[in-house]
Amino acid sequence: MSTTTPLVTGPQALNSYQTNPQHLLLWMTFVMGIVFAVWQALLNNFVIERAAFTGTEIGILQSLREVPGFLAFTAVFVLLFIREQAFALIALALLCIGVGITGFFPDAFGLYLTTIIMSIGFHYFETINQSLTLQWVDKADAPSFMGKVIAWRSAAALTGYANIWVVMTWLKLDYVWMYAIIGAAGLCMVLFMSQFFPQFTLNATQHKHLLMRKRYWLYYLLTFFSGARRQIFVVFAGFMMVEKFGYSVTEITALFLINYVINLFFAPAIGRLIGRIGERYSLIFEYIGLIIIFICYAYVDNAHLAAGLYVVDHLLFAMAIAMKTYFQKIADKQDIASTMSVSFTINHIAAVIIPALLGLLWINSPKYVFFIGAFFAACSLILAFNVPQNPRAGTETNWPKKGV
């Protein structure tokens, strides 16, 4: 005899929604996704049209944007004074404020300042959001939930693009209005979330000091190489599409839209797949795929094939969920917040160094930049073979067997 779950409606349903911390995580992700997508989509046009930026100024701005990520380890010290949930909402509000005021400062100094404000909020939020996710979501549900998070972020970005079209193309309003509207809307949503959702409890009291444990060494290295590969994709794969194949702004935007739509539908499935086959095989699959893609980048001469590689490359990064769930399985619960702060800094070491160094190499031989990307992916592949099939505290690696 089959049974059905009764449909809960009214105040009881609302209360059930409010008391689930996963809903807060999803809505915070949505706000971050829509606000940041608008900032990112308008940036290049705004700085050129309104602030007359050259390559020098945009290079400085992008470097300044990465500095807060490099300093993400300081988040653990802020936790001495406020709770993680409140910290995440404050950081998200700071992101919204930074984006909201961008249009009022159409000059180099003003844009540097608003970018730093936005970036501090963004990187602190991402650090704490990852920590809360690993603490609030059960290990068995984490891969599926993180896939859902990627889908929500993609939906948010698509919503942001739609808002740009409505405000700037249909209503024909200026940049200052677009930035102000999206920043104010995001800030209002943050204020609403702070009142709508209760203060959720954490399963364990988090360490409030910097922490690096020897038994997490494999996670640290995977994080570093992930950051290095990501920079090559973000900086040079997109640049290749424009420089080598002459992609227009419209065509690049279309590529972004395709990526977001694919992630919207496939990221949850990728999360479920990781839950079924485990972190070891998921990471091995990802890194083999990335090695092939980077080598193809070095030799591709067809614009359509290059676009296909770009889309598959972006999709494979969703497999990085496995790296987070691997850490969740091996970590002491008290270590999560501190380790997320440190790992975010490790991830951004490459963000500070890679673009400048490989930019010089790109001038003479672009294909060697992608060979280096393949090398980074190969290093990650070797490390992935050391991930146990069933990682847990005390069995963090295949070799050595015992954690220290």
pLDDT tens digit sequence for 357-379? 888 888 889 999 999 999 999 99
- The predicted model gives 25-31 an average pLDDT of 98
- Percent of the chain clearing pLDDT 90 (strictly above): 71
- The predicted model gives 301-320 an average pLDDT of 94
Give the three-state DSSP class for 324.
helix
Tokens 């809360």 locate to 132
CA separation for the pair 357, 360 (Å, rounded) = 6
- The predicted model gives 38-48 an average pLDDT of 88
Tokens 């993400």 locate to 72
Q: Are 97 and 119 in contact (CB under 8 A)?
A: no
End-to-end Cα, the chain, rounded Å: 52
- Local confidence band at 204 (pLDDT 50, 70, 90 cut-offs): confident
Domains delineated in the chain:
23-203 (1.20.1250.20), 212-404 (1.20.1250.20)
Residue 9, pLDDT > 70, answer no
Helices (H), 278-401: 279-299, 303-316, 321-330, 336-364, 366-384
- The predicted model gives 303-309 an average pLDDT of 96
Tokens (6 digits) for 21? 């911390």
At residue 249, the pLDDT reads 64
Tokens 């509207």 locate to 181
CB atoms within 10 A of CB 255: 17
Q: Are 188 and 12 in contact (CB under 8 A)?
A: no
Q: Give tens-digit pLDDT for 159-178.
A: 999 999 999 989 999 999 99
Residue 6, pLDDT > 60, answer no
At residue 277, the pLDDT reads 97
Dihedral of alpha carbons 88, 90, 91, 92, sign = positive
CA separation for the pair 398, 219 (Å, rounded) = 13
Helices then strands, each counted (H, E), the chain: 16, 0
Q: Give tens-digit pLDDT for 335-346.
A: 999 999 999 999
Tokens (6 digits) for 388? 């146990």
At residue 310, the pLDDT reads 94
At residue 23, the pLDDT reads 97
Q: Which residues make beta-bridge pairs with 69?
A: none
Residue 317, pLDDT > 90, answer no
- Local confidence band at 104 (pLDDT 50, 70, 90 cut-offs): very high
- Local confidence band at 41 (pLDDT 50, 70, 90 cut-offs): confident
CA separation for the pair 243, 95 (Å, rounded) = 31
The count of C-alpha atoms lying within 13 angstroms of the C-alpha of 298, restricted to the half-sphere facing its C-beta, is 15
CA separation for the pair 176, 299 (Å, rounded) = 42
CA 33 distance to own-chain centroid = 9
CA separation for the pair 208, 188 (Å, rounded) = 30
CA separation for the pair 219, 112 (Å, rounded) = 33
Residue 403, pLDDT > 60, answer no
Q: Give tens-digit pLDDT for 219-267.
A: 999 999 999 898 888 878 888 888 899 887 678 778 889 999 999 999 9
Between 55 and 305, where is the model more confident?
A: 305
Question: What torsion do the CA atoms of 332, 338, 340, 344 make, to the nearest 10 degrees?
Answer: -150
- Local confidence band at 401 (pLDDT 50, 70, 90 cut-offs): low
Helices (H), 197-278: 217-231, 238-243, 249-277
At residue 146, the pLDDT reads 97
Average pLDDT of the chain to the nearest whole number: 91
**Angle (CA) 170 172 178, round 5°:** 100
At residue 353, the pLDDT reads 79
Residue 185, pLDDT > 80, answer yes
CA 168 distance to own-chain centroid = 27
What are the strands, taking DSSP E only, across 179-229? none
CB atoms within 10 A of CB 45: 12
At residue 359, the pLDDT reads 81
Tokens 């290749």 locate to 240
At residue 404, the pLDDT reads 43
Between 235 and 26, where is the model more confident?
A: 26
Ramachandran angles phi, psi of 392, nearest 5°: -165, 170
Q: Which residues make beta-bridge pairs with 395?
A: 392
Length of the chain: 404
Give the three-state DSSP class for 257.
helix
User: By C-alpha distance, which of 85, 93, 69 is closest to 184?
Assistant: 93
- Local confidence band at 69 (pLDDT 50, 70, 90 cut-offs): very high
Report helix, strand and coil shares of the chain as percent, to nearest 5.
80, 0, 20
